[in-house]
C-alpha cells in the first residue's frame, strides 16, 4: 500500500460465525480524521483480489479524505490462503460479522460496498435479511460470467428494500447484453445506475491507461455522493 490513508489503516480482526464453526478474518480500519459525521462504509474485495488491492486502497484513501470511514476486510477463503471463493454461506456470514464489528466500533448506519463478487455477496446477505445496511453499492455487479447471460445472478435482487447503486462500466462483459441488465435493475425496488464511460469490469478505459489506485479513487465521489444521500 502506497497511499498515506492506506498506510495509516489499522489492522483489525473480525469474528465470523461460519456454518462450520467460529473463525476470524482480517480487516483494515481507516478512520476519517476530522469528520463531523459518522459516515461509514464496509468495503469488500472481488473474487480475484484481497482487501489490499490498489483499486480498493485508492478508493479507501479518497473516501477517508472526504470524511468517510472505511472498513476493508477479506472473506474466509482469502484468510485461508486460497484463490477460489468458498461457499456463498461463508461470504454471507462474513458480511454478518462485519456488520456486528461495526455496530461495536462505530454504532450507526453504514453502507455496504463491494467490488464484483464482494458486492454480490452483500446483496445476497441483504436479501436474506442477514445484514441491514443503509445502502448497497455494487462496483461492477457480476450479473453473469462473460458469455453466460443464460445464467444470471439476479433472482434475489427484488427482495432487497435497501437503496442500491450499480456502478457499471459501459463495456463490462459481465452485464452484456445491456438490455438484460436494464431489465434486472428494473426489478429492484429502489435502484439506480451510474455509468462509467468506456469502462470495463475493472473500470479501465481502452486507450486511457491509469493505475488501479487512481481508478478506485476516481469512483469515490460517486460512492460518497450516494452514501451521503441515504
Q: What is the pLDDT of residues 77-135, one digit of tens each?
A: 999 999 999 999 999 999 999 999 999 999 999 999 999 999 999 999 999 999 999 99
Contact 76/16 with Cβ under 8 angstroms?
Answer: yes
- 30 phi, psi to nearest 5 deg: -115, 100
C-alpha span between 115 and 170 (Å, rounded): 16
Range 67-73 average pLDDT: 97
Total domain count, the chain: 1
Contact 68/224 with Cβ under 8 angstroms?
Answer: yes
Query: Bridge partners of 27?
Result: 12, 73
Is the confidence at residue 6, as pLDDT, over 50?
no
Residues 6+ apart with CB under 8 A from 53: 45, 46, 212
Give residue 1's pLDDT: 37
Contact 140/167 with Cβ under 8 angstroms?
Answer: yes
Is the confidence at residue 226, as pLDDT, over 50?
yes
Q: Where are the beta strands (DSSP E) in 58-170?
A: 69-73, 111-115, 135-139, 164-169
Is the confidence at residue 157, as pLDDT, over 50?
yes
CATH number at residue 211: 3.40.50.1820
Give residue 5's pLDDT: 44
Model confidence over 158-214: pLDDT tens digits? 999 999 999 999 999 999 999 999 999 999 999 999 999 999 999 999 999 999 999
C-alpha span between 145 and 181 (Å, rounded): 13
Range 217-230 average pLDDT: 97
Q: Would you place residue 36 in the very low, low, confident or very high pLDDT band (cuts 50, 70, 90)?
A: low
Q: What 3-state class would DSSP assign to 134?
A: coil
- 18 phi, psi to nearest 5 deg: -75, 155
Q: Would you place residue 8 in the very low, low, confident or very high pLDDT band (cuts 50, 70, 90)?
A: confident
Contact 69/61 with Cβ under 8 angstroms?
Answer: no
Contact 108/40 with Cβ under 8 angstroms?
Answer: yes
Which residue range is the domain that position 41 belongs to?
Answer: 4-229
Range 208-230 average pLDDT: 97
Give residue 199's pLDDT: 98
For residue 141, give the nearest of 173, 177, 117 by alpha carbon: 117
Amino acid at each position: 500500500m502506497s497511499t498515506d490513508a492506506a498506510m495509516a489503516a489499522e489492522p483489525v480482526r473480525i469474528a465470523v460465525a461460519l456454518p462450520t464453526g467460529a473463525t476470524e478474518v482480517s480487516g483494515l480500519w481507516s478512520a476519517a480524521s476530522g469528520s463531523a459525521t459518522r459516515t461509514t462504509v464496509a468495503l469488500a474485495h472481488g473474487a480475484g483480489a484481497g482487501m489490499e488491492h490498489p483499486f480498493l486502497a485508492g478508493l479507501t484513501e479518497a473516501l477517508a479524505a472526504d470524511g468517510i470511514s472505511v472498513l476493508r476486510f477479506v472473506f474466509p477463503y482469502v484468510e485461508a490462503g486460497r484463490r477460489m471463493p468458498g461457499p456463498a454461506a461463508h461470504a454471507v456470514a462474513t458480511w454478518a460479522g462485519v456488520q456486528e464489528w461495526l455496530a461495536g466500533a462505530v454504532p450507526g448506519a453504514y453502507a455496504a460496498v463491494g467490488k464484483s463478487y464482494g458486492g454480490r455477496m452483500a446483496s445476497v446477505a441483504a436479501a436474506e435479511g442477514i445484514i441491514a445496511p443503509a445502502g448497497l453499492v455494487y462496483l461492477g455487479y457480476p450479473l453473469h460470467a462473460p458469455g453466460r447471460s443464460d445464467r444470471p445472478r439476479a433472482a434475489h435482487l427484488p427482495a432487497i428494500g435497501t437503496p442500491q447503486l450499480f456502478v457499471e462500466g459501459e463495456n463490462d462483459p459481465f452485464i452484456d447484453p445491456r438490455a438484460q441488465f436494464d431489465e434486472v435493475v428494473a426489478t429492484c425496488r429502489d435502484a439506480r445506475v451510474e455509468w462509467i464511460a468506456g469502462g470495463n469490469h475493472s473500470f479501465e478505459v481502452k486507450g486511457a491507461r491509469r493505475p488501479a489506485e487512481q481508478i478506485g479513487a476516481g469512483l469515490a465521489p460517486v460512492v460518497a455522493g450516494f452514501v451521503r444521500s441515504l
